[in-house]
Amino acid sequence: MSQAPLLDWHPVSTPPRAPLDGRYVRLEPLDPARHGAELWQALQGADDDPRLWDYLPYGPFAERADFDAWLATNAAAADPLFFAVIELTSQRCTGQLSLLRMAPADGCIEIGHIAFGRAMQRSPASTEAVYLLAELALGRLGYRRLEWKCDTRNARSMRAAERLGFVYEGVFRQHRVVKGQNRDSAWFSIVDREWPRCRAAFERWLAEDNFDARGRQRQRLQALRG
């Protein structure tokens, strides 16, 4: 058997704990003192999304103290590295997400622990939050592979991954036990050779002229990628 060709590959850096600025959102390293009250309102308040916690391994939280303890654990971690999402128009924290399972030697990293408040869902803000982390990983830092994983029952996450340009790779059967239930995990990825096309589509979709006066998209992200 012939050997696989050698790569001119050098390990990359882990992501910095630093803000990322976009047109609609700013991602800030998670800080419970700064972001806790607004995150509690966005994720657990009167207008929260009752389906948000269905497939996450934690939550919902009956008590604010438990929520704050969870945030403190998230903020202290280096992997996952959590970011709070600041919606720029309101200057309020409306969600969180993270980079995790970092393997700089292999150039592999994952986006996960996504928890967006109802106001942020299906919005330019949610798309841009993912784009900013993808561009950091695949663009600035030079990772080779960006992963997205979710429960196969989580139809919303499956649709989101494909809309955002992640390629479906298959299912890890009986991958985890979450809240006492079996989880079969769907795996998706974007690899480095796919990123230039995905990046261009993200940037065209997020441009101001892609939205009409009522904030409705003129072109779909998938169409721009095609």
Give the chain's mean pLDDT.
Answer: 95
Domain ranges of the chain: 20-225
Threshold 0.85, pTM exceeds:
yes
pLDDT of residue 2: 65
Nearest residue to 134 (alpha-carbon basis) of 160, 105, 170, 158 = 160
- pLDDT band with cut points at 50, 70 and 90 for residue 202: very high
Give dist(CA 74, CA 113) in Å, integer: 10
CATH superfamily of 20-225: Gcn5-related N-acetyltransferase (GNAT) (3.40.630.30)
75 and 198 Cβ atoms separated by less than 8 Å:
no
Q: What is the pLDDT of residues 37-70, one digit of tens each?
A: 999 999 999 878 889 999 999 999 999 999 999 9
Give dist(CA 166, CA 110) in Å, integer: 11
pLDDT at 119 over 90: no
